[in-house]
């Protein structure tokens, strides 16, 4: 993968994280329609296709998924925050 493609994917995943964190600040615990559509657009830019509907999923679970995608992109082992939070 070229450096430019890698950077584009990383930026798209970063934007997903930002959108999810902003939703949490607003008090959302689950993904609604507009947030789901925005996330799908950025995931497509990152070269990832959502295998299932995002709407209705818990934001903290989707954050874990995005962090795992970032770790893969960086060639690291993904860390599952559920292990740290006692889930």
The string of pLDDT tens digits covering residues 11-51 is 999 999 999 999 999 999 999 999 999 999 999 999 888 77
Contact between 57 and 35 under an 8 Å Cβ cutoff? The reply is no
Q: Predicted confidence band at 79 (pLDDT cuts at 50, 70, 90)?
A: low
| pLDDT of 9 over the 60 cut | yes
Mean pLDDT of 50-58: 87
- Provide the pLDDT for residue 82: 47
Tell me the C-alpha distance between 79 and 67, whole Å. Answer: 8
User: Is the pTM value of this prediction over 0.75?
Assistant: yes
Buried (b) or exposed (e) across 13-46, using 16+ Cβ within 10 A? bebbeebbeebeeeeeebbeeebbebbbebbeeb
pLDDT at 80: 53
């Amino acid at each position: 993968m070229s450096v430019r493609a890698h950077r584009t994917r990383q930026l798209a995943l970063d934007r997903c994280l930002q959108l999810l964190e902003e939703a949490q600040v607003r008090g959302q615990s689950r993904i609604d329609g507009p947030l789901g559509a925005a996330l799908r657009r950025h995931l497509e830019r990152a070269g990832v296709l959502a295998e299932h509907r995002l709407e209705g999923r818990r934001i903290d679970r989707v954050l874990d998924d995005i962090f795992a995608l970032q770790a893969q992109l960086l060639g690291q082992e993904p860390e599952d925050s559920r292990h740290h939070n006692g889930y």
